[in-house]
Structure formats: C-alpha cells, structure tokens
A and B are shown apart, each in its own frame.
Chain A
Amino acid sequence: SLHASDTLYSELSREVENGRLARLLMKLGTINERPEHDGDPNWSEIGERYVLKLFRDYVFHQVNAEGRPVMDMGHMISCLNKLDAGSQEKIMLTSRDEQNVFVVTYNEVKKQVNAAWADLQKPSRR
C-alpha cells in the first residue's frame, strides 16, 4: 500500500502541471482575437496589446526555413511556463509582414495579458 501511494504521488506530480497550463491557455484563448477588439487602438499596431498577437504567433505559429509549420510542444510549453512565471528573459517578436520587430520580456507580455483579462472582467465595457 505504501508502494501504491508512491505510485499515486508520482502520477500526480506528472499531471499536476496540466491544470496550470490549461488555465493559462484558456486565458490566452479568451483574450485573443475577440471581435470586440476590431477598431480598438489598443490592439492596433500602435497599441499596448499588440504584443499579445505577436506573442501568440511566436508560441504557436513557428515555421521552419521552408515556411512549413513546426509544432514543437517543447517550445510551446517552455514559452507558456516562462509567461506563467513572468520571466525576465527577452524574446524577439516579429509581425507577419516583418515590419514590426519588438524585443520584450515574458514579464511584459504577462502584464499585458493580465491587463487584457482585467478589461474583459470590467462590468460595463463600451
């Protein structure tokens, strides 16, 4: 029975991270690309939230040299973990037309996610 509980614990430790990642993904999913943001200067190229679009592309839309999609789960989880923790590591974000190039910390992206999330929770938007 001690052995059984050890097994349970090790199984638990393997899966306990999943909920954290799922909640993070749900937050990102709810704030990104809402139609309410159309025409909102905050989400335009000159706005503060613009880095969130670029971050989404950085994490999920990686491509290789031939332009083929790369679905590297290691990259995605590692990025999400650093975002979750608000790491001071700097990454380079580039727009699809390569006209905008930003160097931002995960911590700055995290602040924008929090702000965008808080916007959604405001009782009377618009």
Chain B
Amino acid sequence: RAQIDYMDGDWEEVGRLLLPPPGQNAIPTPVSSMTFDSTQELLWVGNEFGRVSGFYGTELTRYTSFKAGEGPVRQILFHEKGVISLCSRSVHMAMRRGPPLWHINHDEMKDLRCMSYTSKGTSEILVAGLQDYMFTVDVDKGAITKQIPTNDHYTIMKRSRYICAATKTGSVNILDSITFNLVKTWNAHASLINDMDAQHDFIVTCGYSLRQQQSYMLDPLVNVFDLKNMSSMSPIPFPAGAAYVRMHPRMSTTSIVVSQLGQMHIVDLMNVNTSNVRQANVLTYLSMVEIAPSGEAIVLADAECNIHLWGSPSRIRFAELSNPVEFADPEETQSQMDWNVDTPLNGIGMPYYREQLLSAWPSHMVFEVGAPPPKVDPQMMSSLKVTEWGGYGRNTRGLKRNQVENTRTAEKTSASLQAPKFLSEKARESANDTSSERRIS
C-alpha cells in the first residue's frame, strides 16, 4: 500500500540552509514563513524584515530575493505569474524573477496573518488577520475588490472544498469560498491552534490547551474533521505533543505529524494506530514545517535559523510538474578592445531588434541652444566663503536649485549696443515678434 512505501527506508536530511542574514554584517534571523513553489523547483522563505528569497533545488542555492513589505512575511502563495506575499500591512505580488507586479496597502490592513485563494481559481485571494476586516484582491489587476467585516480574527487559512480559517481561540471557521459566509464552527482545541492543514475532505489541527498552573501545553493528539460529513473524527494520538501537521498532497488520507523536537510520524487517518517514525536532527525547537506539492520533500525550520530539507536522495523533487527556473543568461565574453580616441563606438554591435529604440528622442522636444549664460549676482558672490576648490554659501537667488532662467529676454531688453538695422529688418522684426515662442511649442 502506498502509505507503507511512503517514507520507507531512504528518507533522510538531504540539505540544510542557514537563512541569509538581513544585512552584510548582521546575524541571521529566524524564518517567518516558507513554502514550496507549486510549479518550479524553488523553496521560498520569508524573513522578519519583509524580505522573500527563493532557493533552487535540493542544494538550496540562492535564487532571487525581494522586499515584499515591512515586518515579518506571514504567508506566501503561488500564481502562474508570480509570488504573492503577505506582510502585516500589505500584500505584494512579484515575478519569481524578483521585479514587483503590484503592491497593496490599505488603512484597514492592520495585522494581516493569512490568505487563501477563493472559488475563482487563482484570480482572487481573500486576506485576513487579527483585525476586523477581510479583503478580497483581484490578483490579475492587483486591486482590492471587496472589504468584508468579520467578527472573528484569523491566524491560518487553508482552502480545500471550503476556506478553513483558524481563529485565535482554538476554533476553526469553515467558510463558503464564494460568499465567505460561516458554514460551521469547529472547536478544535481548548486554547489556540498552532498549525492546521486542509485537503480534499479533511481538516487536521495541532493546538494548545491551558493546563494547571496556567501553562500552555501542546495537545498529545492531532484533531481531525471530516468536511464531507461535517463532523469530527477520532483524533490521531501523538504522545510527544503534536506541533505541526501536513496532509500528504497526493495520498489523500496520509498525514505527517511533527513534534517541536523533530519527531515525525507518518499516519493514515483511516488507520491511526500504525505509523512510520523518523527523527530530524535538530538541536532546538522547530518553528515551522512544510511539505512540497509533490509530497517528495519536507522542510523543517528551527529556532537557530536553519532550514532542514528532508526527502529520499534518489526521488526528491518539489513540484508535481516543474517548469524550468529562469536564470540570468551567461554573459558573452567580449574580445578585449583598445579604447583609444579613434576606436569607434560601433565596434560593439546592436542586437537584433524590431521595436522602436529606447534612444529615440521625441520629435516635439525641441530646444533652442546658445542662450547667454545666466548672470551671477555679484552680491551673492561676495557672500561666498572662498576655498581652494571654489566658493560656497547659501542659495539666496530666490530660484529653485537648477531652475532654468530665460537669459535671452533679459539680454535683449538690456542690450545697449545693437547693430543698426535696415528699415525692412525692423518691419520684419515687429511682425515676427513672437516667432521664438512659436518654435518652442
């Protein structure tokens, strides 16, 4: 059976990455969110400073990196055209290659935490958080389409046949993915939900309860909800304390449960008493766990800013169907040229082109040349402090920095010496008095 083969034998840690620090001389900071790309062999990781970075393949070599907003990156979603990243006060979409596509701010975006696609495929997302409003965003236009008041504040969202939204009080709201109306509330854990996944017909959750002496303890089980029958199922026992849970993307009843110290169990929801156990080699607490869309890779983030990549060395891959990752083209090596004064600049040829060149200068932009230089106010000159390299002082001209002055008219009126003119010239001059203005327009 599939779930017996799965993670059998050769699963191990195949790669480890220390999240690059937020500056050249800074110390590393923990991962704030991470997600496998749905269509390329990339793992995307958000840091505490609003930066999202992609890492390529099982070597996790650095790909692109861009700023998505301020504060921690809360969640990352994928679209055919790019990456959607959520920060507390903004939603950002960028191409996988890095350049931004759109960026949305709104006064009522105060503490966003989660987002989900809606019933409209990948053309609309719902964003929510610890705040009184949710928003729908048109992904193609990059614009807010609706502002929806909500009584509940949400921390995690996953979409299956409904939008499943974890509240901060331990319950899960099951929302209709067209109207966003509340279909049902499921009280999953007594105090709060630490992790949640939803797939096909199931919701699985890990959470905390308040025990004696007022300390929060991870529940020693994963709670399971059946969306087809709208009822809870028997929980998955996990004595070590269930911290993180993911449904296997291709095996619809298989789940992976992980403790804070890296104990991993592969469990079939239909047969919770048999499980396959692994231990990740982590020295501190895990802060996050994610599974690849192929089901052939898992990442675990720890509190020391490490990312552990797990899988079978022979089969590991991220996406179900991978498109090639777009890297920079190799720069062609140019033959060394001797740049003396006689070397023509056309020694380097133009690439083939069929559109208007960028160097094209608009024909309406015509300027007169040869105007006399602006006069320098002698009073200003005398106020300058003089040094070896020149004088300096405040701008007292009453003009903007680099403001253009029309020196031509000033010159004309004050000209005391003029060549005498023929009568005919004078007549022509008065007729064409405005000729220069006309030429400029």
Binding between chains A and B: yes
A78 to B333, CA, bound (A): 11
Q: Which of A47, A77, A103 contacts B98, CB < 8 Å?
A: A103
B208 CB to closest chain A CB (Å) equals 35
Q: Is the CB of B67 within 8 A of A45?
A: yes
Q: Does B350 contact A (CB under 8 A)?
A: yes
With A20-B359, A103-B98 given, is the CB distance from A89 to B103 under 8 Å?
A: no
Q: Which of A13, A75, A108 contacts B99, CB < 8 Å?
A: A108
Q: Does A84 contact B (CB under 8 A)?
A: yes
A93 to B359, CA, bound (A): 22
Q: Is the CB of A20 within 8 A of B357?
A: yes
Q: Is the CB of A90 within 8 A of B23?
A: no
How many chain B residues touch A (Cβ–Cβ < 8 Å)?
Answer: 44
Which B residue sits closest to A104, measured CB to CB? B99
Q: Does B389 contact A (CB under 8 A)?
A: no
A46 to B353, CA, bound (A): 30
With A13-B346, A24-B358, A84-B359 given, is the CB distance from A51 to B99 under 8 Å?
A: yes
Q: Does A92 contact B (CB under 8 A)?
A: yes
Query: Digit string of B329-370 for contact with A (CB within 8 Å is 1, else 0)?
Result: 101001011010000111011111101011111100000000
Q: Which residues of chain A have C-beta atoms less than 8 A from B415's C-beta?
A: none
Interface segment, one of B57-65, B121-129, B286-294, B405-413:
B57-65
Q: Which of A23, A82, A93, A103 contacts B351, CB < 8 Å?
A: A82
Q: Which residues of chain A have C-beta atoms less than 8 A from B328's C-beta?
A: 90-92, 103
Q: Is the CB of A97 within 8 A of B359?
A: no
A69 CB to closest chain B CB (Å) equals 15
Q: Does B92 contact A (CB under 8 A)?
A: yes
Q: Which residues of chain A have C-beta atoms less than 8 A from B22's C-beta?
A: 99
Q: Does A8 contact B (CB under 8 A)?
A: no
Q: Does A4 contact B (CB under 8 A)?
A: no
Q: Does B68 contact A (CB under 8 A)?
A: yes
Q: Which residues of chain B have C-beta atoms less than 8 A from A21's C-beta?
A: 345, 359
A53 to B169, CA, bound (A): 46
Q: Is the CB of B345 within 8 A of A87?
A: no
A108 to B326, CA, bound (A): 14
Q: Does B51 contact A (CB under 8 A)?
A: yes
With A77-B345, A102-B64 given, is the CB distance from A97 to B23 under 8 Å?
A: yes
Q: Does A48 contact B (CB under 8 A)?
A: yes
A102 to B103, CA, bound (A): 17
A77 to B351, CA, bound (A): 12
Residue pairs across A and B with Cβ atoms less than 8 A apart, 8 shown, are A27-B361, A51-B99, A73-B337, A81-B348, A90-B327, A91-B328, A100-B66, A103-B328
Q: Which positions in B face A, CB cutoff 8 Å?
A: 22-24, 51, 53, 62-69, 92, 97-100, 103, 326-329, 331, 334, 336-337, 339, 344-346, 348-353, 355, 357-362
